[in-house]
Structure 1
Amino acid sequence: MAATALGTSSGDGWEFDVPTDGSKSLPPSPRYVEALASQGYSFEAAVADLIDNSIDAGAERVAVVFLRDGDRLSSLLIVDDGQGMDDCALDTAMTIAGQERYAAAALGMYGTGLKAASMSCADSLTVISRTKRSKASGRRWLTQNARNGFHCDIVSPEYSQRLIDRYDGIIGWQGTIVRWDAVRDFDTIEEGHTDQYLNRAVDRLENYLGLYLHRFLSRGGFHIDIVIEEATTREEHDHRPVEPIDPFGYRVPGKAGYPRKFTAPIEGIGDVALTAHIWPPKNQSVGYKGIGPLQERQGFYFYRNDRLVQAGGWNSYRSAEGHLSLARVQVDLPHPANSVFSLTVKKAGVTVNPSFSRGLEKATDADGTSFAGYLHEAEAVYREAARRNEPKRKAAIPPGRGISPKLKRVLVEELPQVPGEDPIGFLWEPLSSDVLFEIDRSRRAIRLNKAYRQAVLGNRRGGFNDAPLLKSMLYLAFNDIFQKERLRAVVQDEIDLWNAVLIAAVRSEADR
């Protein structure tokens, strides 16, 4: 028997809607915090999510600070000079899904990022902030307290101001500090391996932030620094500015006429612009190699409000194949939010429905070339390059601390890298007066004689990444030594030769 109206039926007919009789409030169980902390954030993705908040707050400077207590990592801080928050705004920020509305251009989406990202990595989250019109104040979530009933601590105003004052070189009149304690990654570090952990962790974080936030970093008015700092003395062990890593940053395309603009008609949205690129083959740049396996870097690069949210992958349109490794497609997600493109909470991937693939089948450029034709051309460029027999350079252990990001990038782009090796760093330390440098294989470092630092720098101000010419020469000359099992006499003789010549050169420079 047919229903007489929506939601009704007569006799034993089907109910087309479920009848209701009032409603009641069912707030989430405190165990919801466990689900929130299980979103699958990597350490790098979690930090990037917090920096998204800094960008939304109008920050120009952000510092990611690893705090050391001797050989132990105690805390992680994200410090910014954004507009800050007063008490009311802090309460909203620390409430799960507390912010209900975001500006159209905001990077925030669901009001859970700060809490989900932080609780995925740490058992204590503290947020300290001040505005131009309000005093420093803070809130703290302890995971255990949140599980027991969403109890958020009010941080002492005196401590809040002390922490703001500690970073007044960044914050000035306004800004925010996010502090993580009981960081789970830090608890896994074996005794004596803190430097090794930091080398790898900072490199991964530097590359991740440089890639996913590359459009913001390229503008010149926004800067991120990664700092390793002694908690009690504030001595800086390392200080690295994050450089943008453009996944489309080649100098010359792999095929003339690229990049090309394609238009895909997507059901429910309309025309969506696709910018198709073909990378030059056998490229060693960080922008090409990206993060993770190279085969995963081909495919779609989705952006939301200039923030990269997916770096590669074909989203079920086709499978990844080695001969398509030069093919990358830039897509800026359309506004407003829609059912075709769905973004994950951690902003590290896009889900599409089948209408996207159907639109790609119909996509063409201004000359009528199909999207399938583009993929065929990208494959042809790869296959042609594979047939050419070109000389290969010997792989090198990657450069580490003490080398500027720009110089490091050139070294990495020009030399194939030995996978899985800790980087070679540089340290200025007291040494014997008859040497300019020593090779320290156990610490994976080249030690430079602190007594000759000013002579090498020509009385210019020193810094973490100073003496780039000397460091790059020594890196290239002695990289092989770190790959050998033991130091042979002939190699030691070569080190002695370099020291004798360089010491004479430095002393000659000082006599001028």
Structure 2
Amino acid sequence: MTSDIELNPEPGILIESLRDIGYSFNSALADIIDNSITAHARKITIYALPEEGSFKVAILDDGVGLNRLDLLQAMRLGSSSPRNERETGDLGRFGLGMKTASFSQCRRLTVVSRQQGDTAAFTWDLDTVVKDNSWSITERFDFDHIFALDQLSSSGTLVLWENVDRITGHDGSDSVDYERLVSDAQEHLSLVFHRFLSGEKDTPKINVYVNGRHLEPIDPFNIANNATQASPEEVVCPGVTLRSFTLPHASAYEDKREYELYGLPGGYLRNQGVYLYRAKRLIVFGTWFGLAKKTALTQLTRVKIDIGTDQDESWKIDVKKVSAQLPEIVRKRVKSLIQTIGAPSRKVYRRRGARLTNPEAYPLWNRTKNGEKAVIYSINGDHPLLKNFREGLDTSSQEQFDSLLALIGSMLPIDTLFYDMSANAEPVSAAALNEEDFSRNTRDFFTTLKQFKEDQEILDIMRTIEPYQSRWDETLSVLGIEER
């Protein structure tokens, strides 16, 4: 004999837990935009502004809007089943996105929707939920007091975040670089929705404005550049298509800023790999899903995989729509294609018969003469690794770095070296780099030189200088190069 006992979740505890699913500010914004696109919006306006000591975010669209009953249902947690069959362009998934994305950033969520001239508005206040321990929302009629509502068109929806504590801190006292926050969000949305922003064929075109700036699409494959190499589109399995791209070398760009733009945040090495799209919306990017290592020689390779909304379960798309897993049938197919995918950017290098006549040594130490007698050794600040590291620092840190190099250079133990080498009792050598440091520096050196030299030329240089010369096989292995 059995009996069923109903165990309802504690509202206050569950609502706080839902805030920690793992959204970032950027992914939360993208989730709200998904709803706007599903509602057939063509213009989406975002305001992310400090307002009277607080930070508010308003996302408005000109979509079809919702009537009062539909909006009330949409405010419910789990408003639709993930197993429901969705329309081709429906970017939703669990019926949780709008709420969990918003709760992850703010403690007060107001949604206003307008349809056929009728306006409805509801507010979730998490402090009230916790205080009353009740799944209660407030219906709003004080339209004049709702931020940005005057910007809502004759039909459409406004999503308003207030008390954005995940940005400003619980009491609003955290120091926030709002300019950087908004700039990063603009760049993220320009990438994630680039196919919608560009009006790609069979894709609804949208216009997105963030604090008045119209977002331009960032195509990670730079298809508009004639130097981009693209393979034919291939059907991996039903519902899954694949196409690989090799981006242009740095020398193909006249403008360095354009080259860096398509490197995306973190650069080419970090952003190589698979770009997974669900219904034309970018879900995951810059990963080989554990099927291949990221190497300097494949840093220009990017692979576009398209799936539909009917693939969610097999790909294990998460509620945030920022992670996925390759289904086994696709994993096997992609694994078999990896070598072909990387072929345009991975070459088999053949050893040349002789070294370069005048190789660039890129010495870490400079040897100069002071007058006719004194020889001075100093650290070479123009060494690619040092120079590249220095350029990534702010002005104050650059000055500290320069002082530190000057100090190290001035403390070269000349007398001790002279004594040890003269005595000749024991061989004198520098400390060897451990495997991890050697690998990191090898990749960094290759990647830095790749900005202005061809792969073969870089390898010829590295073959003639330390620490790579004496560890050549290890150097090739780190770079993922086969030499014959």
For 1:75, the equivalent position in structure 2 comes to 56
CA contact (8 A) 2:63 2:157 kept: yes
Shift of residue 90 of structure 1? 1.7
The 3 A distance-change label for structure 1 pair 142 and 338 is closer
Between 294-303 and 338-347, the greater mean CA deviation after superposition: 338-347
Q: Does residue 333 in structure 1 map to residue 321 in structure 2?
A: no
Shift of residue 190 of structure 1? 9.2
Shift of residue 255 of structure 1? 6.6
TM-score, scaled relative to structure 1: 0.60
Deviations 1:363-419 (A, max 9, x none): 5xxxxxxx4123133222999xxx9x99xxxxxxxxxxxxxxxxxxxxxxxxxx964
Shift of residue 348 of structure 1? 1.1
1:351-366 superposed matches below 5 A: 351-363=325-337
Structure 1 residue corresponding to 2:346, chosen from 369, 379, 383: 379
Shift of residue 45 of structure 1? 0.7
CA distance in 2: counterparts of 1:352 and 1:105, whole angstroms: 22
For 1:235, the equivalent position in structure 2 comes to none
Q: Higher relative contact order at CA 8 Å, sep ≥6: structure 1 or structure 2?
A: 2
CA contact (8 A) 2:108 2:125 kept: yes
For 2:165, the equivalent position in structure 1 comes to 184
CA distance in 1: counterparts of 2:97 and 2:246, whole angstroms: 34
Between 305-314 and 30-39, the greater mean CA deviation after superposition: 30-39
The 3 A distance-change label for structure 1 pair 77 and 361 is closer
Shift of residue 353 of structure 1? 3.8
The 3 A distance-change label for structure 1 pair 278 and 33 is same
The 3 A distance-change label for structure 1 pair 190 and 377 is same
Shift of residue 182 of structure 1? 1.2
Structure 2 residue corresponding to 1:45, chosen from 27, 40, 57: 27
CA contact (8 A) 1:246 1:287 kept: no
CA distance in 1: counterparts of 2:158 and 2:309, whole angstroms: 31
Deviations 1:108-150 (A, max 9, x none): 100111111111111111111211152x221111223334534
CA contact (8 A) 1:253 1:278 kept: no
CA distance in 2: counterparts of 1:382 and 1:301, whole angstroms: 28
Deviations 1:332-384 (A, max 9, x none): 11452365411121111211244332122445xxxxxxx4123133222999x
Q: Does residue 93 in structure 1 map to residue 74 in structure 2?
A: yes
For 1:342, the equivalent position in structure 2 comes to 316
For these two proteins, the number of residue pairs brought into alignment is 345
Structure 2 residue corresponding to 1:117, chosen from 101, 106, 118: 101
For 1:260, the aligned partner's letter is P
CA distance in 1: counterparts of 2:62 and 2:162, whole angstroms: 21
TM-score, scaled relative to structure 2: 0.63
The 3 A distance-change label for structure 1 pair 279 and 26 is same
CA contact (8 A) 1:145 1:151 kept: no
CA distance in 1: counterparts of 2:39 and 2:313, whole angstroms: 28
For 2:197, the aligned partner's letter is L
The 3 A distance-change label for structure 1 pair 154 and 280 is same
Shift of residue 199 of structure 1? 1.8
Structure 1 residue corresponding to 2:43, chosen from 61, 67, 85: 61
For 2:128, the equivalent position in structure 1 comes to 145
For 2:265, the aligned partner's letter is I
Q: Does residue 279 in structure 1 map to residue 253 in structure 2?
A: no
For 2:219, the equivalent position in structure 1 comes to 246
SS in 2 for 1:300: strand
For 2:186, the equivalent position in structure 1 comes to 206
For 2:153, the equivalent position in structure 1 comes to 172
CA distance in 1: counterparts of 2:7 and 2:72, whole angstroms: 22
SS in 1 for 2:345: helix
CA contact (8 A) 1:250 1:280 kept: no
Structure 1 residue corresponding to 2:233, chosen from 261, 266, 269: 261
SS in 2 for 1:49: helix
Shift of residue 319 of structure 1? 2.2
Shift of residue 167 of structure 1? 4.7
Q: Does residue 84 in structure 1 map to residue 65 in structure 2?
A: yes
For 1:179, the aligned partner's letter is L
Deviations 1:3-43 (A, max 9, x none): xxxxxxxxxxxxxxxxx946454333322222321111111
Between 204-213 and 311-320, the greater mean CA deviation after superposition: 311-320
Shift of residue 326 of structure 1? 0.7
Structure 2 residue corresponding to 1:223, chosen from 202, 207, 210: 207
CA distance in 2: counterparts of 1:172 and 1:319, whole angstroms: 49
Deviations 1:227-273 (A, max 9, x none): 1xxxxxxxxxxx211111111124446575x33334435xxxx4732
Structure 2 residue corresponding to 1:106, chosen from 78, 86, 90: 90
CA distance in 1: counterparts of 2:348 and 2:165, whole angstroms: 45
The 3 A distance-change label for structure 1 pair 260 and 204 is same
CA distance in 2: counterparts of 1:241 and 1:421, whole angstroms: 29
Shift of residue 155 of structure 1? 3.5
CA contact (8 A) 1:253 1:259 kept: no
For 1:208, the aligned partner's letter is H
CA contact (8 A) 1:63 1:80 kept: yes
Shift of residue 103 of structure 1? 2.7
Q: Does residue 323 in structure 1 map to residue 323 in structure 2?
A: no
CA distance in 1: counterparts of 2:349 and 2:305, whole angstroms: 23
SS in 1 for 2:346: helix
The 3 A distance-change label for structure 1 pair 22 and 333 is farther
The 3 A distance-change label for structure 1 pair 263 and 80 is closer
SS in 2 for 1:379: coil
Shift of residue 289 of structure 1? 1.7
Shift of residue 98 of structure 1? 1.3
CA contact (8 A) 1:296 1:320 kept: yes
CA contact (8 A) 2:277 2:306 kept: yes
Q: Which runs of 5+ in 2 are unaligned?
A: 351-355, 361-389, 396-484
Deviations 1:410-455 (A, max 9, x none): xxxxxxx964769xxxxxxxxxxxxxxxxxxxxxxxxxxxxxxxxx
SS in 2 for 1:350: coil
CA distance in 1: counterparts of 2:64 and 2:308, whole angstroms: 28
Shift of residue 293 of structure 1? 5.0
Deviations 1:148-205 (A, max 9, x none): 5343332431x236648x554x5321121111111124425998966xx122011101
